Amino acid sequence: MTRTLLASLFLVFTHLTSFGQASPINKKATQETRNLYANLKRLSQKGTMFGHQDALAYGVGWKYEPGRSDVKEVVGEYPAVVGWELGHLELDKPMNLDSVPFQKMREFAQEVYAKGGLNTFSWHLNNPVAPSKTSWDAADSTIQHLFKDKKAMKRYQSWLDGLAGFMKTLKGPNGELIPVVFRPLHEHTGSWFWWGRKHCSPEEYKQMWRFTVDYLRKKKANNLLFAYSTDRFTSREDYLERFPGDDYVDIVGFDLYHRPPAAPNQLAQANQNFIQDTRRMVETLRQIGQEKNKVWTLSETGLETLPQADWWTNVLIPIIKDAGLSYVMVWRNARKDHFYAPYPGQKSADDFKVFYQNPRVFFINKVQQENLYAPVPQNKQAAK
């Protein structure tokens, strides 16, 4: 037998057996976290989960009313994925930068877990070198300074201690840690955050990422899956320019928003461009995800205030259809002029109901049946 034949047989073998089953990068990840990762892989072959930032906390016109969610009020159930934001945890504030109390966030995350859904966390942290500066204060060379400045580094470590501490308070009914996705240092192909492209070199970004992951692993935050998500990118090389390595990333993704032009006569063309561009990125991401045997996601998207009634079926569906995305998440419903999911009576609500009926789009009930946190049944183990 030739070596290539042997090599292909080996590949087929690893695909067909649990040997090839995807595992999280953290070898000490809890059993539930390992189960979650394998199930995300498995489920992404069947369809894509729908997610909404801060879904249970508030919506357009209401705040902290138990059992509510704008998405639920339109289609009858919660989204499958709920996003949470940790900005200001590092400042020891009781609320995040969008005024969500961390105590409530913890309870909501527990509720999502209890219903079988998935929680994901982002972190718009302040600048550890100049802590009164926000994520958005463009501060050049922050990462370079951080690694040279002992005091700043100590501060960053204490911030990570706080973050690991918070993650370890996420517990299920039997005291088990709730597995979650953590998506730090995001949208770094843009330059609006201090960790963005124009403010650090690729090596500095990678150093920052690896330091963060290693530190959290050392602190035994063994319930985290790490998601790497860029903003817009032009090619595979561009996407991977700052990629910290296969041993440092569980989930690959990107964020991209639909921002139509003001001129109405350019709308149709701009829509087509957005669909084509985003789909191209999804395809590149799929290739990268498949090659690396990772899970892939459209980690943030949306059209602010949803002025287009058919956005869900005529823009989002063509972007995500049969692309193997684990989930697609839209951003928060903060107020009448800043929301990304419909609420009852909103212009796109009917179209969202059609989107909801799509058999390959999952909300929380379907995901609950799929038992994300239980071992993958032997006969259903995911091939690559």
Q: How far is the CB of 68 from ligand BMA (least distance, A)?
A: 19
Distance CA 19, CA 15 (A): 8
Q: How far is the CB of 96 from ligand BMA (least distance, A)?
A: 8
Following DSSP, what letter does each residue of 243-309 receive, concatenated?
Answer: ---GGG-SEEEEEEEE---S-GGGHHHHHHHHHHHHHHHHHHHHHHHHHHT-EEEEEEEEETT---T
First to last CA, the chain: 25
Short-list 217, 137, 147, 207, CA closest to 182: 217
Antiparallel, parallel or unpaired: β 62-63 and 58-59: antiparallel
Residues 106-125, mask of contacts with ligand BMA (x by CB under 6 A)? ------------------x-
Asked if 294 touches ligand BMA (CB under 6 A), the answer is no
Q: How far is the CB of 73 from ligand BMA (least distance, A)?
A: 21
Distance CA 346, CA 76 (A): 15
Question: Which two tokens mark 245?
Answer: 């390595």
Nearer to ligand BMA, 37 or 331 (CB): 331
Chain centroid to CA 266: 31
Nearer to ligand BMA, 36 or 256 (CB): 256
Q: Which residue in this structure is represented by tokens 């379907």?
A: 366
Half-sphere CA count of 179, side-chain side, radius 13 A: 25
Q: Under rule CB under 6 A, how many of the chain's residues touch ligand BMA?
A: 7
Binding to ligand BMA, residues 318-377 (CB under 6 A): 331-332, 334
Among 85, 90, 255, 370, binds ligand BMA (CB under 6 A): 85
Among 20, 95, 98, 190, binds ligand BMA (CB under 6 A): 98
Asked if residues 136 and 186 have their Cβ atoms less than 8 Å apart, the reply is: no
Q: How far is the CB of 31 from ligand BMA (least distance, A)?
A: 32
Q: How far is the CB of 297 from ligand BMA (least distance, A)?
A: 17
Residue nearest to ligand BMA (CB): 85
Q: How far is the CB of 211 from ligand BMA (least distance, A)?
A: 23
Among 97, 138, 288, 309, binds ligand BMA (CB under 6 A): 97
Asked if 88 touches ligand BMA (CB under 6 A), the answer is no
Q: Which residue in this structure is represented by tokens 């600048």?
A: 127
Residues that bind ligand BMA (CB under 6 A): 85, 97-98, 124, 331-332, 334
